[in-house]
Amino acid sequence: MTTTPTPAPAPAQTLAEEIAEEIRALIRSGRHNPGDPLPTEKELAAQWRVSRGTARSAYQLLIDEGLVVAQRSRGHFVRSGARWTPIMWRASDPENNLSTDDGPQDTWARCVREQGREPAEDIRIEIVEADDKARQHLQLAGPVPLIVRRRSRFVDGAPSATADSFYLREHVQGTAVELPSQVYPGVYAVFDERGLPWIRTVDEVSARMPTREEARRLGIVGAVPVLEVVRVSYTDQQLPVRMTVFLKPGDRYKAVFEHGGESPR
């Protein structure tokens, strides 16, 4: 294969892009398999008679695409598991579990398990002042302390999603909701008992780039956006009693919403 003698007529392709293109082809064709080590930056620079910075730029392009991962002091590797089937999260399934039959498994855990993978959860409880977002969605006037259940979720042992739920203290004080463990049979049962069952849910869905901290918590590498779902649950009095912020890496999740099914108005 002859490389072009660089007449550089029209393509306007940079050197780094050209190098990235060749590595991309090697990966897609199967010459490099997931987990395989790739040439070091120095080797790549030598092969292409290019400076290390340019070789680095080429790798950065592939990292942003999610094809390659860099490991400090070890090298660059073809990313494994990059082409996993995304997890379908049936976001519109009702969250009003009352029976203890199927345990404290919420929709997320059920969806993960149904797809033959192993869900796990790490729960932390915090008390925070309501920020703007919480005040708006929970219709609070001033700075009110809220109970937060921060759940870091794992699939097959790897960080996979987060779900942070915000509650008014008066609604959950003295209940299992403010303990860092699973709630049996579910948080809905606690609210139902207190005469505050929610009957309506509004989800605001957006796509954005994660902050650095979020990327760390979600195990995101490369330029992968997150799907953010802000869910507010209302009682029949239109009282918002819970706000949950779900974060899912865009390359590993799809959210499924089903509607209609009832007769058209």
Is residue 216 within the footprint of DNA (CB under 7 A)?
no
CB count, 10 Å around CB of 145?
A: 11
75 binds, among a copy of itself, DNA, none (CB under 5 to 8 A by kind): DNA
262 binds, among DNA, a copy of itself, none (CB under 5 to 8 A by kind): a copy of itself
| Cα 218 from Cα 161, distance rounded (Å) | 6
Q: Which of 53, 81, 94, 145 binds DNA (CB under 7 A)?
A: 53
114 binds, among DNA, a copy of itself, none (CB under 5 to 8 A by kind): none
Is residue 54 within the footprint of DNA (CB under 7 A)?
yes
The interface with a copy of itself within residues 71-110 (CB under 8 A) comprises: 86, 88, 91-92, 94, 96
Q: Which of 24, 76, 149, 150 binds DNA (CB under 7 A)?
A: 76
| Cα 95 from Cα 242, distance rounded (Å) | 12
CB count, 10 Å around CB of 133?
A: 12
Is residue 157 within the footprint of a copy of itself (CB under 8 A)?
no
Is residue 71 within the footprint of DNA (CB under 7 A)?
yes
Q: What is the DSSP string of 57-71?
A: HHHHHHHHHTSEEEE
Closest by CA position to 249, among listed 92, 89, 80, 27: 89
| Cα 3 from Cα 14, distance rounded (Å) | 14
Q: Which residues form the interface with DNA (CB under 7 A)?
A: 14-16, 40-43, 49-54, 56-57, 70-76
